[in-house]
Amino acid sequence: MPYGRSTPLLYFNRDALTAAGLDESIFATWSTFAENAPALVGGETEVAFAYGAGAGYGAWLLQGAVWAFGGHYSDADFNILIAEPEAVAAGEFFRQSVQDGWGITTQTHEVDFINKVGAAILSGSSAIAQFAQAASFEIGTAFLPEETQFGCSTGGNGLAILNTAPQEVQEAATAYISFLTNTENTTYSSQTTGYMPVRTSAIESAEEQAFLDANPNNRVSIDQLPLTQPQDSARVFIPNGDGIIGAGWEEILVNNVPAQDAFNAVKEQLDEEKVAVLEQIAAIEG
């Protein structure tokens, strides 16, 4: 059962944009962001955009950006596509942002966002509540920028019951999940965290609609959800796929390695690691 469901969002410092004479329309595409990014350097904030560590969901957050440039980490058949021109174009765009001085890599990009280092970051929708409590400025949220197309994945967590558990345990777990995900508790959970409501009854309730009207940042992930797509198989099904891809991003963003070289190395690793997965699939399917 879905529970704490999330999408990556673009968070931005609305005060910094206003001071620079800008508004959130600059986030329509990555290119329009890049065009306006210099105005956000050295004013209210140090730089325009802060990247997080590759090991900290970096591959998840930037997956939609790769899709926006027309690329993929892989397809559903585990063909590794990260070294293809479209994904490389995304990698080069973000490498250049650091080299041009409007992007920065940090180990704690969310903390640095709150401390006005970066005017914008990518993070999950679950961060809305903590950002709102910690920030000394007005926070805005926006859809992930497009480029040649829109790209955004989902994330978060879910609840499951082991079918090998004793019957009475399964029944107790079912009762607990029913309680945890009922309309009242789903509404409470989403409003106090930023995770999306996982019941349409919660989204459609008068209480939730009033909350969303008063807290429009929370509405963005709900509106963005119909445009999302499943994550690329290389990240979620290949053992340590997320870590391998994240390390590739760090080579690009931290060590200034050309995207083609970094992603070639990632592809080689993923091609090696996927063998065991394909063998398991073959054993199951016969």
pLDDT exceeding 70 applies to what percent of the chain?
A: 100
The span from the CA of 46 to the CA of 23, in Å, is: 18
**Gap between the terminal Cα atoms of the chain:** 29
pLDDT of residue 272: 97
**Sorting pLDDT into bands at 50, 70 and 90, what band is 40?**
very high
Structure confidence by residue, pLDDT tens digits, 228-254: 999 999 999 999 999 999 999 999 999
Its CATH architecture, for the domain 2-155+228-285, is 3-Layer(aba) Sandwich (3.40)
Map out the domains of the chain as residue ranges: 2-155+228-285
Determine the Cα–Cα distance for residues 201 and 185; give it in Å rounded to an integer.
Answer: 11
Tell me the per-residue pLDDT of 189-242, one tens digit each, with 9 for 90 and over. 999 988 999 899 999 999 999 999 999 999 999 999 999 999 999 999 999 999
Banded pLDDT at 286 (limits 50, 70, 90): confident
What pLDDT, on the 0 to 100 scale, is given for residue 111?
96
Alpha-helix runs per DSSP H in the chain: 14-19, 30-36, 59-61, 63-68, 85-99, 109-114, 128-134, 167-180, 183-193, 200-204, 206-214, 216-224, 233-236, 241-253, 259-285
Banded pLDDT at 165 (limits 50, 70, 90): very high
**Band of pLDDT at residue 54, cut at 50, 70 and 90:** confident
55 has a pLDDT exceeding 80: no
φ, ψ for residue 144, nearest 5 deg: -60, 140
| pLDDT band of 72, cuts 50, 70, 90 | very high
| Per-residue pLDDT at 89 | 98
Task: Give yes or no for residue 57 having a pLDDT over 90.
Answer: no
Mean pLDDT computed over 114-125: 97
- Rounded Cα distance between 183 and 156, Å, is 19
Residue 139 has pLDDT above 90, yes or no: yes
pLDDT at 56 over 80: no
Neighbours of 115 (CB within 10 A): 15
Q: What is the overall mean pLDDT for the chain?
A: 95
Q: What's the whole-number mean pLDDT along residues 82-96?
A: 98
